[in-house]
Amino acid sequence: MADSSAQPIAKYRSDYQAPSYTIENVALDFDLEPTATTVRAVSTVQRLDPQVGDLVLDGEKLELLSLKVNQQEHQHYQLSEGQLSISDLPERFELEIVTQINPQANKAFEGLYQSGAAFCTQCEAEGFRRITYFLDRPDVLATYSTKITADKAAYPYLLSNGNKVAQGELDNGKHWVSWQDPFPKPSYLFALVAGDFDLLQDSFTSRSGREIALELFVDKGNLERSEHAMASLKAAMKWDEQRFNLEYDLDIYMIVAVDFFNMGAMENKGLNIFNSKYVLANKQSATDSDFLGIEAVIGHEYFHNWTGNRITCRDWFQLSLKEGLTVFRDQEFSSDLGSRAVNRIKNVRLLRSHQFAEDAGPMAHPIRPDKVIEMNNFYTLTVYEKGAEVIRMLHTLLGEQAFQAGMQTYVERHDGQAATCDDFVNAMQDASGKDLSLFKRWYSQSGTPVVSVQTQFDAAKQQFSLTLSQSTPATADQPEKLPLHIPVSIELLASNGASIPLQAGGKPVSEVLELTQAQQSWVFDAVAEEPCVVLLQEFSAPVKLDYSYSSEQLLLMINHASNTFARWDSMQKLIAGWMQQAVAKVQQQQALELEPAIIATFEQLLQDQAIDRGLLAELLTISSENEIADNFQEVDIDAIAKARDFFIEALALALAEPFAQLEQRCAEADQQSLAHSDIAWRSLRAACLQFVGFSQPQRVAAAYFESSLMTDKLAAMAAANTAAIEQRNSMFKDYEQQWQHDGLVMDKWFALEASFSGGDALARVKALTEHPSFSMENPNRIRSLIGSFANNNARHFHAKDGAGYCYLAEILTLLNKQNPQVASRLITPLIQTVKLDKQRKAMIIEQLEGLAALDELSKDLYEKVSNGLQQLKG
């Protein structure tokens, strides 16, 4: 590194110490000015540890104007990098600190900053220290009152947590509003917004009869794009009462949509701040995926009110306590309102294509990490998505009734507290009576377990034996692994597709087998013929299977498995088997061909009138290059791309007429509503268009130009990308001319341009950074263009000349100073490359070493760069 003495220091979960002081309440007074905002914070502080003298507060990018103890100027303090240490303090006292900050200059979007013309905050994980000096840690819970003063014309809405208690006007054109939040919360849940917005108002009557005001604030002119978000909020409030018995607690619930935001959304108590991407939508500007994403994220942040706010994390190592649990809750919300099968498939796709890679990469960590340098780096798919899978396994093992009893125990025990992951599992264990001590290893062990399978059939005894073995490969952070508690849901299928009842010793047994040892066996009775065993129904555990199915077995499961996820998964295995053979043929310069059995399977699906349309759309969606790469020990980027391209085009041409007929039927059946039945028709049409473009490109162009729905337009544009049709340019030009004034809608265009494999993709991406709709200061634009190129255009990002790596390193160097949090998320495809060939690894090492040598490398990038180099060189 440029200066080894200045290397960031890691923090360890094992070093946790309870706070020596606590803050019981804080009164904040903001005088908002774009370049010189004054913050007065008056706190009641109590010493908890009599052996500790100094009060050490966190603070960054602050100018200290004054400090008082019990209303008297206090000189006994010392300022150092990131800290304010105050000495000579009584046991209990009032602390007043006045600071000044520059929101306009804050391009990191942490703390208080300007988003366009509005003021906005983002305090999770450690942003509150950019507002005032404070005990900025999640286990210090205080009640907050907030007074905001600002120019009334520029900022007519002044918002903060809790309930509005007072307001007034001043002679100098300013006005003020006071807010009070009666529920103790950590500093990361503080929020403030000031600006001029359009406001959508509604209300919700809780089950206890309380009338709750609902307010949704959006940028001027976007009011008609906010109604779906409001409907989603009301649906989430109702669902949480019905499914989890949890009711909202304040008199008002507010959501503000802002354009400049590092994350998707933030669950601040009573005042959620959202990235506009997850609020604004109408059928002309947003796709069905956008509508469903808004519903899920609105639900997620609302569900945090109990699983995150009322009960928060003791320390940041426990992040999955709130995030894994709340992701599980939002997944269940989406599944209860929509298609459970389709939602499960989409969740597993994300896990396999990205989280499994994270497990195998240099930043591998358990869902409860043991070591951290920069906490922002652990807002990961492992903590969120794998964390949700761990909660789902608990639900699978306990069942809905016992799981809900555990939730009730958890809430009753820990409401108003900062809790741990162990507290949650203990509540589940105590409420259900089930021993979960071994299950806790999921919280402390990283990596993706592999479950190996052996079967044996005894025809004379009519017994089928199933032996499961588990192992977890060594990861960058943990060389040694222990057995886990893995629920494996199974079904036995007869040759005619009938389900064989599971029994042992003459008694029925559960379909969920509990694998708790390195190897275990089960024997099933009354099995008249050798069955086909369906494994991991509903993806009952986040593991990989080591078991070779025959093509005949996969076809049997595709057609007859009871579980819809298992049917889809069998299709993925069938295609993956072909892909592995095809990649080998490409490497040996042999010709590729598509087996008649695969063509026949797809043809049968296309003609199946009874199959769920949403499920069929997923069955017809060919795995991404990232998903395919996960099946290889060493990844050949170019060979995978050629094999996948061939598969899609060959299938498209072999079944040109059935694909075209089904696409036409979808177009005619769609009523263009947001009903899930119509969403399914459109998703199926989109899947068909991916193939139709190879034989009837005019149908793809027609799907774009003849529809007013953004879903259809984007589906056609994606199909134009896949088949590289002649009409692609006119479609993309039309979209650009229509939407170039709207950055949020243009994000879709940027993403498709960046992921298109035709032409010189890197030159196209570089040119688009100069596009009038693009801004290097907006995280959404960066993710849509540069993130899409690096993540979704593997053949060009990983080009053999290394130009893709060099370009991303240049962008990361720029963002390192401007917005380290975005840089840290953008670097992922540069470090999750352990399976690449030596030549590419050498070029990546060169770029990482260049980043490591930067004079002021942020903590966010330092951690990932150093870990990436360590794994690549190791």
Rg of the chain over all Cα atoms, to the nearest angstrom: 28
Whether residue 372 contacts residue 477, with contact meaning beta carbons closer than 8 Å, is answered with no
Single out the residue of 128, 126, 135 nearest to residue 21, CA to CA: 135
Question: Strands 211-218 and 252-258, how do they pair?
Answer: parallel
Mutual angle of helices 676-692 and 637-654, in 10-degree steps: 100
Q: Over 798-851, what HEC string results? A: CCCCCHHHHHHHHHHHHHHHHCHHHHHHHCHHHHCCCCCCHHHHHHHHHHHHHH
Q: What is the 3-state secondary structure (H, E, C) of 263-325?
A: CCEECCCCEEEEEHHHCCCCCCCCCHHHHHHHHHHHHHHHHCCCECCCEEECCHHHHHHHHHH
Catalytic site residue from 301, 323, 627, 863: 301
193 forms beta bridges with 120, 159
Residue position matching structure tokens 């000015």: 33
Q: Are 8 and 862 in contact (CB under 8 A)?
A: yes
Neighbouring CB atoms inside 10 A of 547's CB total 15
Cα 410 to chain centroid, rounded: 24
Place of tokens 């040598």: 853
Sign of the Cα pseudo-torsion (402, 405, 409, 410, in order):
positive
DSSP 478: B
> Catalytic annotation on 846?
no
Inter-CA distances, 17 with 12, 21, 379, 497, Å: 11, 11, 23, 58
Helix 676-692 to helix 288-303 angle (10° resolution) is 130
Answer yes or no: are the C-beta atoms of 641 and 586 closer than 8 Å. no
* CA 262 – CA 633 distance, rounded (Å): 34
Enumerate the active-site residues: 301
